[in-house]
Amino acid sequence: MDSATLTELLNDMRADLPPNIRKVLDVAAENNWELNPPGVTIAVRLNHATDKLADPVYISWVVGRTQKGKLSYRFDGCGTRGLVPLSGADLLVYLADPTVVYLTDEDIQERSNAHDERVRPKWDDSAEPEVNAMKQLGGTLLSVDRAFSSPPITGKPQESKSSPVSAKPLRVMLPNL
């Protein structure tokens, strides 16, 4: 999309809203829905016309009104499709030269390690079993009942040994997937 087409699109958006959008807004108003402050978000998606390696960039502004009623456009955020977040100043640099966000081999390895840690957290021998269980299962501990007279078990889980004393199992709330 060249700048003339972008300008034309913005001018067309100033015209009356299409009937399908107007209908949604009318039904919402009739049923007491209102704008969630600040009101509206505009998102612009840009591709580079000649650099096929450049990731598309997404920019958003929040549109609302000031306390005095003046129309306000506040920069909300931006980033590339490659999940590289950009500040407002970085965006201008990126638009001039998309190669500034290319990931190095070190960046890729660091992201991979961080992902592995989030997906499979390591067992911490110094932590309580409940803490490790929450980290491993990704849930919230609801309760722990111990029927043992011995001190709490620490360390890595071991094979279950039959015991005449029964213990209530850990109850955890698993996250919605």
Please identify every stretch of the chain with a pLDDT value under 70, giving residue numbers as ranges: 1-7, 9-14, 38, 103, 116-121, 138-139, 141-177
In a domain, 160, yes or no: no
Total Cβ atoms within 10 A of residue 46: 15
Model confidence pLDDT, tens digit, residues 92-136: 998 998 888 776 788 778 877 777 666 666 777 888 877 777 777
Number of domains composing the chain: 2
Residues 36 and 65 both lie in one domain: yes
| 63-to-30, 60, 87 alpha-carbon distances in Å | 23, 10, 18
* Residue 41 bridge partners (DSSP): 62
Are 94 and 14 within one domain? yes
pLDDT at 14: 66
Residue (of 64, 92, 62) closest to 77 by Cα position: 62
Q: In this structure, is residue 158 part of a structural domain? A: no
Q: Integer distance in angstroms from the first to the last C-alpha of the chain?
A: 38
Instruction: Give CA–CA dist 37/66, Å, rounded.
Output: 11
pLDDT for the residue 60: 92
Which pLDDT belongs to residue 58? Answer: 93
Is residue 45 in a domain?
yes
Dihedral (CA of 21, 27, 30, 33) sign: negative
What is the C-alpha separation between 68 and 80, in angstroms, rounded? 35
- Give residue 135's domain range: 103-148+166-177
